[in-house]
Structure 1
Amino acid sequence: MQSQGLGTPPKLAIGDGALGFWNALTKVWPTTQHQRCWVHKIANVLNKVPKSMQPKIKASLQDIWMAESCSSAYKAYDLFVKNYSVKYKSATDCLIKDKDEMLAFYNYPAEHWMHIRTSNPIESTFATVRLRTHKVKSCGSRTTTLMMVFKLAQSAEKKWYRLRGFKLLADVITGVKFKDGERIIQDQAEHQGEPIHQI
């Protein structure tokens, strides 16, 4: 990304459990906040419980990432640990190890949450490419492969959803603070040492 001209560190990076990605990110951009993908995390947790329990566990996980506020999410987190840590310790440990990274999205506009809670928006684009390259087996030269990927991406973009709250990206980039998805508003009270927050 740097070699392609990205000079400003990203505010947030979303990814799965691939340690190489996070290690490289931390080394190159130590100020970038981490958000673990909820879709991957849910799949990993559910793999560690019996199938009969998966719907109930999934509903409890949904209570966390669909909470209206970060404090409510942490309460749902604690309830999950309380309810399942004895019987399903490995599933609970899987969730706990990335606790802070799972809830970073609360520091960004609520309009962006559906885009940044998971890496699926970017992965779904590459799914089309993977499907075609798997069927073709050999893509020929580097040039023909690049041309094919480019045309597949062009075709896939016709079905993309517009980024919700894209106008708020300017606020995020310039460092405007958000809490529980709401922009923090400061007025005259700040000069008196009492910042006012819109929550």
Structure 2
Amino acid sequence: MGLKSRGLNAPQLAVGPFHGLQANYCRAMDASMGFWVALQEIFPATRQQRCWMHKTGNVLNYLPRRSQPKAKKVLHGIWQAETREDARKEFDLFVGTCEAKYPKAVECLVKDSGELLTFYDLSAQHWLSIRTSIPIVSAFATIRHRTKRTKECLSRVGMLPVMFKLGQCAVKSWRKLRGFAHLGDVIEGVHFINGIKPSTQDQAAAR
């Protein structure tokens, strides 16, 4: 609500962990649930992309250790597929292989199946950045590292300027977003097909 009141328009995409995590991730679950609930309330038109890193880890937690390497390879085959259709085939392969023995692992994957493949509707140059929320977490590692050690010394009001200055210092080492030239298309709401921008002729035919 605060971001919207300060002028933030509805984002085209939100990336984050999925709704349900296991008990040992209850704190992350609470934070994740709050994020998605707030997003649905404030920006209902914003599309959602679940983090593949978090999803993979939690699906594997439902499998015995000896089965995890093979299952992980199949899961990677889903998000590394060139097209949504190929990803669906890999998805069905995992379900068919694991459903009988490990139904909870399959349930964990299936319940977010749509939101896990949203990235296919956006520029392929952005896939590396939007398939997981890890880059976002890493970008704020410097801020988190410092604020965890000074949280007892500063009030919230005093901490905000510190976080701002830490962010200014950290941004100097950040890499430029891949495919930044396509951000204009994202803002305009261009619908990519398997990461490829339709030609002008294709767009005209679609209308």
Match of 1:175 in 2: 189
1:105-129 Cα distance to aligned partner (Å, 9 max, x none): 0000000001111111211122222
Matched, 1:185 2:199: yes
**Which range is displaced more, 100-109 or 146-155?**
146-155
137 and 184 in structure 1: CA distance in 2 versus 1, 3 angstrom threshold: same
Q: How does 1:1-199 map to 2 (within 5 A)?
A: 1-6=3-8, 8-17=9-18, 18-187=32-201, 190=204
Structure 2 length as normaliser, TM-score? 0.85
* Aligned counterparts of 1:189 and 1:22: Cα–Cα separation in 2: 32
**Which range is displaced more, 97-106 or 176-185?**
176-185
* Aligned counterparts of 2:202 and 2:195: Cα–Cα separation in 1: 23
1:103-159 Cα distance to aligned partner (Å, 9 max, x none): 000000000001111111211122222222223351323343123212322232233
Q: RMSD of the alignment, in Å?
A: 2.0
Secondary structure of the 1:178 match is: coil
Runs of 5+ unmatched residues, structure 1: none
* Aligned counterparts of 2:58 and 2:175: Cα–Cα separation in 1: 27
* Aligned counterparts of 1:167 and 1:81: Cα–Cα separation in 2: 37
48 and 189 in structure 1: CA distance in 2 versus 1, 3 angstrom threshold: closer
Q: Which has the higher helix share?
A: 2
179 and 139 in structure 1: CA distance in 2 versus 1, 3 angstrom threshold: farther
Match of 2:27 in 1: none
* Aligned counterparts of 2:145 and 2:107: Cα–Cα separation in 1: 34
Give the Å deviation of 1:172.
Answer: 1.5
67 and 139 in structure 1: CA distance in 2 versus 1, 3 angstrom threshold: farther
Contact 1:129 1:149 in 2 (8 A): yes
Q: Which amino acid aligns with 2:97?
A: N
Tell me the percent identity.
48
Structure 1 length as normaliser, TM-score? 0.88
* Aligned counterparts of 2:138 and 2:167: Cα–Cα separation in 1: 11
Give the Å deviation of 1:72.
Answer: 0.3
Secondary structure of the 1:34 match is: strand
* Aligned counterparts of 1:9 and 1:96: Cα–Cα separation in 2: 27
Contact 1:128 1:156 in 2 (8 A): yes
131 and 189 in structure 1: CA distance in 2 versus 1, 3 angstrom threshold: closer
